[in-house]
Structure 1
């Protein structure tokens, strides 16, 4: 067989062995598909209010809510900026402490016996139950607000990362020990990379809880923020302000989660999982 024939035969073999393009990628939905349900819902409520089937003084039309957002003007940007700063600070502190606690508890049975029961008990305490205690301990400035948000972000990150560490393949750990890796190097080069999927899951859940705890945090003598707008709308009987604040919380929560999801895809591009197949 001459060289050309061999080359042709080899190319045919490689082509037949090459996996087909996954069906999930060929039919990847357009990103705009996610807007269909919210837009249809808003249009439906607009029609119900305009037709008189919903009382406008209890549920303003979406167009009225948008007008309220514009009427708030520059003050709205200030409220959003303050809330974003509080969530960012509280989430960063809570997530960082959770990573440290999960690594310590995950690698030491004595630390688990000492710390984990307390963490599990504190996890069951509702967010509003912390408010009076934080007021007594920390006053009414920014410190208790950020502390409360950090508490909300701590537990999901801690639990997910701890689960991820405990489920790392034992052979990988033994391989690291065979190569003489120190405890710190083992964590940095094997345990944390292998548990990244669990860590990102915890971060996304923790971030959503940080936004939830923000509302409770801004009940602590706040004069600015989206939680303050909720309280102000309730006290002044302005459902349009209340719904505008809820809408903003939903949008900001979704945008921040999208940022984390994008970082997760980049960090976990090496995974051979269903997520990779779906694209």
Structure 2
């Protein structure tokens, strides 16, 4: 008696390829949906703005039409003035952020790691953070004048506050069990900082840095409104004085785009520094 062995029919190549293609494109489709959802609200505002300008709901002296703002943007790009003001503001933000982030990380880590230092300086630091940076500007002006040093220090001050708070809290809140584990494994202080404290504290520190970057842009506009002859804040002041609100709106749009782009860059760096984290914030 002859036994006939039957094998399952092979799955056609085309359906398997199509299924794999659909699976590979699924994340892209989800991302596109998120992008479209995020753009829906600003596009609706833009449509309402255009309709209001065309129907004359708002006087053009108060809110110019989108076409006027766009033409002003093109003119500023053509004569190079927008690039000049943007470059000046970016340099100030970069210098202030570097200063504030460095001071915030070092001081925050020291406060979090040394309980005696925390008990000594933490109450006055928390009291100082309750005072807006604007309140310190008259005092800082006495020592720094109104030149670039004042702008960089004010921006750095506004950056350092959330970085100090986030870093001190993140480093100080590392569970005692993890610290004891480092002692049991006979890790050196540097190894405990690198292998235990830093991975545990990094998410909170990154949040403080992003908040500090947002504060940097807000403080930039304030200091450039106060005393400056170049920069996006100065462009806003100039447009307001000339009653050319299209210049104000152009400067506001550029600040918003730059701030959002830099925040996305910080998020990308954060993901690169935390390869064990997924996009949802859970461990792999």
Range 201-210 or range 128-137, more displaced: 128-137
Superposed CA RMSD: 2.2
CA 276–176 in structure 1, closer or farther in 2 if over 3 Å, else same: closer
1:32 aligns with 2:35: yes
Look up the SS of the partner of 1:275 in the other structure: coil
Q: Distance in 2 between matches of 1:234 and 1:129?
A: 24
**Superposed displacement of residue 272, structure 1:** 6.1
8 Å contact 1:146–1:217 — kept in the other structure?
Answer: no
Look up the SS of the partner of 1:246 in the other structure: helix
Give the equivalent residue in structure 2 for 1:15.
none
Q: Distance in 2 between matches of 1:166 and 1:110?
A: 12
CA 44–161 in structure 1, closer or farther in 2 if over 3 Å, else same: same
What is the 5 A alignment of 1:1-279? 28-30=30-32, 32-33=35-36, 34-72=38-76, 73-271=79-277, 274-276=280-282
> Which has the larger Rg?
2
Could you say which structure has the greater relative contact order, defined with CA pairs below 8 angstroms and 6 or more residues apart?
A: 1
**Displaced runs of 4 or more, over 3 A:** 24-27, 272-277
For normalisation by structure 1, the TM-score amounts to 0.85
Q: Distance in 2 between matches of 1:134 and 1:62?
A: 40
**Superposed displacement of residue 178, structure 1:** 2.1
Deviations 1:103-141 (A, max 9, x none): 111112211122212221221222322222222111222
Deviations 1:217-268 (A, max 9, x none): 2134210001111111222222111111111111111010010111112222
8 Å contact 1:131–1:216 — kept in the other structure?
Answer: no
Q: Distance in 1 between matches of 2:27 and 2:185?
A: 40
Look up the SS of the partner of 2:31 in the other structure: coil
8 Å contact 1:131–1:220 — kept in the other structure?
Answer: no
Q: Distance in 2 between matches of 1:239 and 1:217?
A: 20
Q: How many residues align?
A: 256
Range 97-106 or range 113-122, more displaced: 113-122
Can you give the 5+ residue segments of structure 1 that lack an aligned partner in the other structure?
1-20
Look up the SS of the partner of 1:204 in the other structure: helix
For normalisation by structure 2, the TM-score amounts to 0.83
**Superposed displacement of residue 276, structure 1:** 5.0
Q: Distance in 2 between matches of 1:194 and 1:131?
A: 36
Range 227-236 or range 183-192, more displaced: 183-192
Range 43-52 or range 130-139, more displaced: 130-139
Q: Distance in 2 between matches of 1:136 and 1:231?
A: 24
